[in-house]
């Protein structure tokens, strides 16, 4: 494989974590590996709700941390919750100074939405449901004007090279060409900001390329993985047959929208005192039960929003319109869909992974902030906080340089793209057996199918990355013999007594469990 050496810091991904880290590293030279044109393909640009921060004078970072710990079902690291919530306000002010047009009241205060399991209205938003697109737009403008940042659009990473436990390089290739060969890039440091794993599921709200690739790449290189089993299913993805499923933001329920079924029954009031604003996992399971019973759950915004939904939530209104739904007169069909991976590459409070030379920020990481159930709108906040932390820590580990030539890359031919049928099978298996409600039989079946897929399609490094992350999720879910937060086991319906524990594993361990299960069946 051709290899190239650069003094630039290599950032894998181009979502909020990557962009913010690149800006915070300036003027240190950076090369950002972006599969798509900047702004496309990242969950960050699709965020509708906004960023959680205690901005109201009556609210406090302590309240925010308490809600974060509470939602996480006993597995949030309180030190991390404290670290992230304490600084949240500063990030909102920084994003504002970088050009994000947050919604304001007439007297200039930030408009704050209320979301599930928050004890205060504390989610800052932009034009109703445009937070992600607007924040990304503002940062992209800054990145385009920052000469230290080179963006390699149309490139993706597939493999981490290690030498004696230290990450020394990243194999990259064209993201568009099925026949692209790879180039090994050696840089000053490697920061992974490649997002989560939602797209490993057939039913997901995540952009098509967000398929656990970067987590899988780190796992294959030997990095420690934490809380892999904790996958959040968003309760109100729109059930309209689109892949990915468009989202009906939780802020709609914050405004008073209710959940009903085809019989017109409001089912959440009987399940939780906070009804539609119960924690996400509770609402997701209730909706899943209605789906399973054939009761067609729906989100009803008619009474509280009526025609106003079109101005207040333009994205949701547009998704409805293109599917022939008028939310002012019709309830919106919904179903739970894989949305956010609480687990990922184990990361310490300096943003470092277990392998030397490797930093991680954003959804690919597992910092301990989210536990078994992420508090709504803490995802963007975590990406910002750890992007800054990683940038500062990387800066202390590399020689100070502000000058590095731009990379000029032409990919050779000769690679293998993932087989689309195999990818579709993997995604179906994850939704059917590793989804909202899990059972040992289904999890074992998933592991057996994953082993077979990996064996049959092992010539594509991208597909191996997906298989690695899927295997880690299924094996960790099998090993957690309890129900906690978003991880629900029908064969172990209760939480184990005592405080919850986080899970930590390596791909070698998950594969060993998978091999054992395959042998049992042989
Ligand atoms: C529909 C939706 C709505 C959401 N709403 C909110 C919200 O309101 N508030 C909130 O806090 N959170 C929300 N979230 C979650 C939040 O958007 C994400 O957790 C956050 O954006 C993650 O940022 P990131 O930078 O880690 O990843 P992303 O923004 O997903 O970016 C990942 C980047 O990595 C790239 N990439 C992937 N694979 C590779 C590879 N192999 N090589 C190179 N690059 C790669 C992708 O193309 C992308 O550029 C939402 C998520 C979704 C899907």
Segment 347-352 shows an average pLDDT of: 98
Q: Is the pLDDT of residue 403 over 90?
A: no
Ligand 1 pocket residue status of 61, Cβ below 6 Å:
no
Half-sphere exposure for 115 (CA within 13 Å, toward CB): 30
- The Cα angle at residue 101 between residues 310 and 115, in degrees rounded to 5: 60
Structure token pair of residue 147 = 């000469």
Cα-Cα-Cα-Cα dihedral of 446, 448, 449, 452, to 10°? Answer: 160
Structure token pair of residue 439 = 């059972």
Ligand 1 pocket residue status of 195, Cβ below 6 Å:
yes
| Tens-digit pLDDT profile for residues 139-169 | 999 999 999 999 999 999 999 999 999 999 9
CA of 365 to the centre of ligand 1 (A): 12
pLDDT band at residue 116 using 50, 70 and 90 as cut-offs: confident
In the chain the first and final C-alpha atoms are separated, in Å, by 38
Which residues are within 8 A (CB) of 429 and not within 5 positions of it... i.e. 6 or more apart?
445, 446, 449, 450, 470
Distances (CA, A) of 18 to 174, 208, 465: 19, 18, 20
- Say whether 447 sits in a helix, a strand or coil: helix
Q: Is the pLDDT of residue 177 over 80?
A: no
Ligand 1 atom 48: residue of nearest CA? 42
Rounded to 5 degrees, φ, ψ at 149 are -105, 120
Q: What strands, in cross-sheet order, belong to the sheet with 2-5?
A: 2-5, 182-186, 166-174, 155-163
Q: State the angle between helix axes of 507-521 and 461-479 in degrees (0 to 180), rounded to the nearest 10.
A: 80
CA of 237 to the centre of ligand 1 (A): 16
Pair 454, 339: CB distance under 8 Å: no
| Tens-digit pLDDT profile for residues 74-98 | 999 999 999 999 999 999 999 999 9
**Residue among 379, 463, 464 whose CB has most ligand 1 atoms within 8 A, to mutate:** 379
Q: What is the per-residue pLDDT for 499?
A: 86
Catalytic residue among 280, 285, 388, 502: 280
- Dist CA 140 CA 195 (whole Å): 17
Report the mean per-residue pLDDT for the chain.
Answer: 96
280 is catalytic: yes
Radius of gyration of the chain (CA): 22
pLDDT band at residue 414 using 50, 70 and 90 as cut-offs: confident
- Dist CA 51 CA 39 (whole Å): 18
Identify the CA nearest to 146 among candidates 274, 30, 277, 17. Answer: 30
| Tens-digit pLDDT profile for residues 449-478 | 999 999 999 999 999 999 999 999 999 999
Ligand 1 pocket residue status of 193, Cβ below 6 Å:
yes
Half-sphere exposure for 400 (CA within 13 Å, toward CB): 2
pLDDT band at residue 179 using 50, 70 and 90 as cut-offs: confident
Q: What is the per-residue pLDDT for 178?
A: 76
Structure token pair of residue 330 = 């019709």
Give me the percent of the chain exceeding a pLDDT of 70. 100
CA of 495 to the centre of ligand 1 (A): 30
Q: What is the per-residue pLDDT for 522?
A: 74
pLDDT band at residue 279 using 50, 70 and 90 as cut-offs: confident
Ligand 1 pocket residue status of 35, Cβ below 6 Å:
yes
pTM score, whole prediction: 0.97
- Say whether 123 sits in a helix, a strand or coil: strand
Structure token pair of residue 363 = 């959804």
pLDDT band at residue 291 using 50, 70 and 90 as cut-offs: very high
Q: What is the per-residue pLDDT for 128?
A: 86
Rounded to 5 degrees, φ, ψ at 345 are -75, 120
- Dist CA 437 CA 171 (whole Å): 37
Q: What is the per-residue pLDDT for 280?
A: 87
Ligand 1 pocket residue status of 14, Cβ below 6 Å:
yes
Segment 404-408 shows an average pLDDT of: 95
Q: What is the per-residue pLDDT for 426?
A: 98
Q: What is the per-residue pLDDT for 402?
A: 81
pLDDT band at residue 417 using 50, 70 and 90 as cut-offs: confident
CA of 363 to the centre of ligand 1 (A): 7
Q: What is the per-residue pLDDT for 516?
A: 97
């Amino acid at each position: 494989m051709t290899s190239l050496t650069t003094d630039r810091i290599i950032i894998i991904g181009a979502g909020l974590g990557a962009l913010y880290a690149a800006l915070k590293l300036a003027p240190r030279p950076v090369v950002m590996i972006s599969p798509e044109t900047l702004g496309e393909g990242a969950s960050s640009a699709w965020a509708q709700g906004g960023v959680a921060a205690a901005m109201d004078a009556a609210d406090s970072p302590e309240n925010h941390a308490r809600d974060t710990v509470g939602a996480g079902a006993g597995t949030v690291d309180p030190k991390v919750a404290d670290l992230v919530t304490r600084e949240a306000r500063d990030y909102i002010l920084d994003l504002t100074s970088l050009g994000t047009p947050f919604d304001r009241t007439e007297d200039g205060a930030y408009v704050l939405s209320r979301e599930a399991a928050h004890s205060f209205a504390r989610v800052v938003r932009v034009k109703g449901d445009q937070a992600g697109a607007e924040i990304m737009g503002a940062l992209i403008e800054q990145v385009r004007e920052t000469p230290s940042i080179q963006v390699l659009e149309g490139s993706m990473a597939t493999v981490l090279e290690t030498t004696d436990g230290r990450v020394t390089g990243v194999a990259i290739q064209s993201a568009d060409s099925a026949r692209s060969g790879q180039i090994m890039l050696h840089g000053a440091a490697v920061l992974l900001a490649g997002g989560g794993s939602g797209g490993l599921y057939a039913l997901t709200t995540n952009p098509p390329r967000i398929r656990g690739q970067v987590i899988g790449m780190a796992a294959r290189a030997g990095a420690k993985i934490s809380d892999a089993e904790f996958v959040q299913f968003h309760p109100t993805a729109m059930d309209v047959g689109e892949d990915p499923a468009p989202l009906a933001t939780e802020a709609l329920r914050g405004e008073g929208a209710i959940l009903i079924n085809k019989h017109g029954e409001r089912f959440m009031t009987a399940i939780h005192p906070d009804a539609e604003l119960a924690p996400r996992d509770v609402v997701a399971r209730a909706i899943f039960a209605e789906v399973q019973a054939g009761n067609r759950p729906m989100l009803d915004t008619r009474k509280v929003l009526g025609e106003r939904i079109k101005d207040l939530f333009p994205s949701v209104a547009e998704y409805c319109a293109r599917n022939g739904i008028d939310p002012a007169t019709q309830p919106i069909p919904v179903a739970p869909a894989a949305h956010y991976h609480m687990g990922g590459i184990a990361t310490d409070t300096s943003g470092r992974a277990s392998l030397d030379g490797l930093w991680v920020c954003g959804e690919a990481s597992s910092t301990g902030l989210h536990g078994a159930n992420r508090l709504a709108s803490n995802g963007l906040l975590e990406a910002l906080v750890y992007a800054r932390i990683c940038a500062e820590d990387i800066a202390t580990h590399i020689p100070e340089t502000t000058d590095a030539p731009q990379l000029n890359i032409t990919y050779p031919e000769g690679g293998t793209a993932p087989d689309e049928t195999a990818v579709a099978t993997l995604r179906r298996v994850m939704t059917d057996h590793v989804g909202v409600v899990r059972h040992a039989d289904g999890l074992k079946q998933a592991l057996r199918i994953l082993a077979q897929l990996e064996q049959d399609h092992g010539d594509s490094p991208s597909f191996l990355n997906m298989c690695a992350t899927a295997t880690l999720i299924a094996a960790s879910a099998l090993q957690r013999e309890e129900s906690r937060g978003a991880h629900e086991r029908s064969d172990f319906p209760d939480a184990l007594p005592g405080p919850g524990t986080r899970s930590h594993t390596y791909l070698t361990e998950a594969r060993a469990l998978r091999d054992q299960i395959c042998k049992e069946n042989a």
